[in-house]
Amino acid sequence: MLLLIASYFFYACWDYRFLFLLMFSTLLDYFTGLKMDHSESKHGRRFWFWLSVIINLGFLGIFKYYNFFAESLAEALFDVGIKSHFWTLQVILPVGISFYTFHGLSYVIDIFNGKIKAEKNFVDYAVFVSFFPLLVAGPIERATHLLPQIQRTRTFDLTRGIDGMRQILWGLFKKIVIADSCAQFANMIFNDSASYSGGVLVLGALFFTFQIYCDFSGYSDIALGTARLFGVDLLRNFAFPYFSRDIAEFWRRWHISLSTWFRDYLYIPLGGSRGGTWMKVRNTFIIFLVSGFWHGANWTFIVWGFLNALYIMPSILFNTNRNNLDIVAQGKLFPGLKEFFQMLVTFLVTVFAWIFFRAESVHHAFTYIGSMFTGLFDAGNFKMTAHFLANEVGIALPLLLGSFLIIEWLGREHQYAIQNWGLRLAKPLRWAAYYSLVLIIVYYAGSGKEQEFIYFQF
């Protein structure tokens, strides 16, 4: 009950008026789950299942996608000479709606498929949906994983608590120091891309690449660490994705809870890989396009999803999508030359795709890319890029990014980068490292560069 009250208070701190949506979604799935369990006929179970799915997706569609479809239709009609005006919603998007909607959907789907029984204790179920560390930006949990942890008696474990605090510390560093510092320059460049040279536009894409990773994985680290203080282990959401050797491995390591959600509740029900090459290709494009659309009501996200589907196609067609299941250079300090180039190519194509994710429109993305490659290797372009680095960026951020990458690389075999500090480092060195992180975080937190978490908008 305390966790439920805390979670609702946490959500109300953003906007109490949208608490009704969270509560309604919770009540809907709770009661339809019970009704499915009590139904004696398949028809009855199917009725309650589809009632929950349609209403959940209906709310998500109205708040997140209605304006997008209305404006897109109006533009399409205008292009063929028909003037129209559609009423649009003047309302902000409820924070976290995609996340808690997917929590409820996975619950009712699992009941419908007979994987779990409906939860009779409303408080336990409500905590599963609204547990505050994951409420607004995930990870997207499953009832089979989280509900049993909520139901059992939990006692405070000092070792787990220390581990949780360490992960929170690393998450705060990634968000406040790395992500928000990169955001300052990514926003500067993307918001006025016509004023910059190709080299500076490349820097803008790189800054956003590190911003989105450190922003989102930083939130996940904070969420997982906080939950561990309460004796709860949430699903891991990131596993050092920028050290991937191909796109298939990248998507096993990026936003893991969403990728596995689409795999289990969309890809496999559509037939997965069982129906031959055409079905694999079709289903892969479907999940990537839906994944792009899940991120937001903008064509840029759909193009981003389509591009990633194209990236992964060679792995699907040649059955190499499960070639890299291990950790890169496991047990070694340095990767081999082949692994290094595989990581570099995967990273660069990922950076290219992030341009569409960050751009204001598809036209903006193509304009940005065109300008980025114009005169990229000219002497004047190098001069302007060097001037931007020296006079705008300075030396602090490149040093921080380099240190961050080294720490991430050295910690890639663990759940998060500094998990082994408590085991490997001598106590004086360990505490010096912790206090250094704390001081850097405090300094950057007071710099006035703070940015809202990117995934709050999804």
**Residues with a known catalytic role:** 295
Q: Is residue 159 within a helix (H) or strand (E), and if so which, with residue range?
A: helix 158-172
288's tokens: 């990537």
Q: Which amino acid is at 151?
A: Q
Longest pairwise C-alpha distance within the chain: 76
d(CA 49, CA 39): 11
384 to each of 71, 106, 195, 348, 395, how far by Cα in Å?
39, 51, 11, 22, 16
Phi, psi angle pair for 328, to nearest 5°: -60, 135
Per DSSP, the residues of 104-127 read HHHHHHHHHTTSSPPP--HHHHHH
Tokens 């006035």 belong to which residue? 448
Cβ–Cβ contacts within 10 Å for residue 451, how many?
17
Say if residue 139 is exposed, middle or buried (CB neighbours under 10 Å; 0-12, 13-18, 19+): buried
Which residue intervals of 230-298 are DSSP H helices? Answer: 247-253, 256-262, 277-295
Give the C-alpha separation, 296 to 266, whole Å: 18
From first CA to last CA, the distance across the chain in angstroms is: 28
> Does residue 216 contact residue 137 with C-beta atoms inside 8 Å?
yes
Helix axis angle, 143-151 to 97-112, nearest 10°: 90
Taken as a whole, the chain contains a residue count of 458
Rounded to whole angstroms, what are the CA distances from 360 to 6, 127, 313, 366?
36, 36, 27, 11
Q: What is the spatial distance between Cα 366 and Cα 438, in angstroms, rounded to a whole number?
A: 41
